[in-house]
Chain A
Amino acid sequence: MENITFTLTKKIVTICIIMVSIGLLALVYGLIAGLGGERISANILLNNYYFLGMGLIGLFFVAVHAIAESGWQVSVQRIGEAMSTFIPIAGILMLLFFVFGGLHSIYDWTHPEHIDEILAKKAPYLNEPFFYIRLIIYFAIWSLLSFYIRKTSRELDNQKDIRYFHKLRKLSAIFIVTYAITSVTSAWDWLMSLDAHWFSTLYGWYIFMSMLASGVSMIIIILYLLKRMGYMTHVNNEHIHDLGKYLFGFSLFWAYLWFSQYMLIWYANIPEETIYFSERLDHFKPIFMANIIVNLAIPLLLLMTRDAKRAFWMLIPVAITVFIGHWIDLYQIIMPGAVGGEKAGIGFLEIGLTIGYLGLFFLVVFYSLSKSPLVPKNHPFYNESQDYHTNY
């Protein structure tokens, strides 16, 4: 008999709370050691954005498969739904962070004395009231849709009514369309405006792909943890194979977009654009290089064969590498603009805060997983997902 309800044990809660306390400790350490407001702010932004991305990708995963009416993902759908519960929490933290000093400490365009001709022209978009309005709109849309998608999915399981299946598809379509826009504009708001003078039209997709690759790695990691605890026995090698394909494919597509942005700027060689990369190559060269190796070379070479995508002993190390890799990616996106080469670094503050956020994220996800059965047995595609078979 399969264990279909996940119970939140004391052990999990304790581990998560210890992780969160490490995060708080790191924050206190940052304040005491005088690492500077900029560095602390940039780290909070980094982690908040990174784990918000995990939540959004959880929802995206559910939504995109609901639209495509695919069958196999039904077996892992609950993980995506549980991840999406982190969105409102990340939203509250983000709002608190910006209101209590985060905005002024790292965003140049919020200081009237730094406004020059270029920033003045961008002011109709980049101004504080509109920034907050957008932030609230984003989180309102994302949180509401994630709530309704989760609710509909649960109703579908309880009521066995096909109407909820159609409703789920409609909600998912709304989410995909709004997310296509908001993912790009939110990346401009929170990340690209750190280098307010610089711009790139490819930026939104690039950030989204980074999110997608790391989000899929997180789904794989959570699936592994659940399997280790004796749940999710209905997930077989075929499903793991498909998740592995996602990790492989999205890592490659991330690299494709990274290179597209890099090569165009490198080739055109216009100073206002190249400043972005010259800053990273001058002050953050090891991180900049590690970013490409970890996020492209490792998934490409290690996940190329079919057997590697089907086996946890290979998939999990790669998933953890990609998880760390996209954190590094976000680090080299945020730090040069927010902190600068002299003051930035990787120490207890960075690592501890990430562990803290990871603990909070896991706490929310596992709590949410315990609220509904892990297996959507009444989903119309449940049997299809069980019969699922991938050839190659």
Chain B
Amino acid sequence: MNKYITAYYLDEGKLLKGVKQIKSKGVKIKDVLSPFPVHGLDKALGLRRSRLARVAFAGGAIGAIAGFGFQTWVFTSAYPINFGGKPYFSAPSFIPVTFETTVLFSAFSMVFAFLIASKLLPGENPVILDERVTDDHFLVVIELDEESTEESIKEIEKALKEAGAEGIIIKA
């Protein structure tokens, strides 16, 4: 993303109204960066639902099978030990470890899926559009492409101003 327009809001209520107004003008919003989750923003932006839950389920399922399978292999064939006369295959005693591996695998798969999806893996160069979004500013980002002319940029700027956005920065 080389060419873009950013503008910020200081209040999440105004942001929510502004986003709706900008969208109604036919301007495509690339993203909104906010210091905390804003209720209703996902709907206003028309974002798709996160697919992180599916990753978590897949990771958890793999973790459960791996944990249970590993213990079954260890305690029945690789290194069977007799614990207090219990059978080698004692499912109840495998459950706690299976539970932990389920949680571990699903958590790790979610973390890595998130890092990959948001390009935050080590070695990536994250673009910092405005440092104030980590504090108290809500940043609206609009992407420009090769076809956007000066006129269209002016129109976007006008729409932003009408929607109450402040500090408009154009990088074209």
Contacts and interface: CB of A to CB of B under 8 A. Distances in A.
B92 A263 contact: yes
A293 to B, nearest CB: 15
A259 interface: yes
Contacts of B53: 305-306, 392
A137 interface: no
A267 interface: yes
A391 B57 contact: no
B46 to A, nearest CB: 14
Interface string A304-326: 11100000000000000000000
A131 interface: no
Interface residues of A, number: 14
A188 B85 CA distance: 33
A391 B95 contact: no
A311 B93 CA distance: 37
B95 A267 contact: no
Nearest to A391: B42
Interface string B77-101: 0000000101000001101100000
A262 B93 CA distance: 11
A389 B92 contact: no
A48 B93 CA distance: 36
B50 A392 contact: yes
Contacts of A391: 37, 42
B39 A389 contact: yes
A389 B42 CA distance: 10
A305 B86 CA distance: 38
Contacts of A98: none
Contact of B39 (A259, A263, A306, A387): A387
Contact of A267 (B37, B49, B50, B93): B93
Interface in B37-68: 37, 39-40, 42-43, 49-50, 53, 57
A346 B93 CA distance: 33
B84 A269 contact: yes
Interface in A215-262: 259, 262
A262 B40 contact: no
A259 B86 CA distance: 18
Interface in A256-298: 259, 262-263, 266-267, 269
A263 B93 contact: yes
A262 B92 CA distance: 9
A388 interface: yes
Contacts of B84: 269
**Chain A interface mostly helix, strand, loop or mixed?**
loop
Given A263-B92, A263-B93, A266-B92, A389 B50 contact: no
A387 B38 CA distance: 11
Contacts of B57: 304
B87 to A, nearest CB: 12
A387 B16 CA distance: 13
Contacts of B37: 391
A284 to B, nearest CB: 18
A263 B42 contact: no
Contacts of B40: 387, 389
A306 B56 CA distance: 13
Contact of B43 (A263, A306, A389): A389
A40 B86 CA distance: 40
Interface in A178-213: none
Contacts of A389: 39-40, 43
Contact of B96 (A263, A306, A387): A263
A259 B42 CA distance: 39
A387 B39 CA distance: 8
A313 B11 CA distance: 39
Contacts of B50: 392
Given A269-B84, A304-B57, A306-B53, A388 B95 contact: no
Nearest to B42: A391
A269 B50 CA distance: 47
Contacts of B39: 387-389
Given A306-B53, A392-B50, A267 B43 contact: no
Contacts of B92: 259, 262-263, 266-267
A263 B42 CA distance: 44
A263 B90 CA distance: 11
Given A304-B57, A392-B53, A259 B93 contact: no
Nearest to A268: B84
A58 B4 CA distance: 53
22 contacts: A259-B95, A262-B92, A263-B92, A263-B93, A263-B95, A263-B96, A266-B92, A267-B92, A267-B93, A269-B84, A304-B57, A306-B49, A306-B53, A387-B39, A388-B39, A389-B39, A389-B40, A391-B37, A391-B42, A392-B49, A392-B50, A392-B53
A-B pairs, 5 with minimum CB distance: A389-B39, A389-B40, A263-B92, A266-B92, A391-B42
Interface of B: 37, 39-40, 42-43, 49-50, 53, 57, 84, 86, 92-93, 95-96
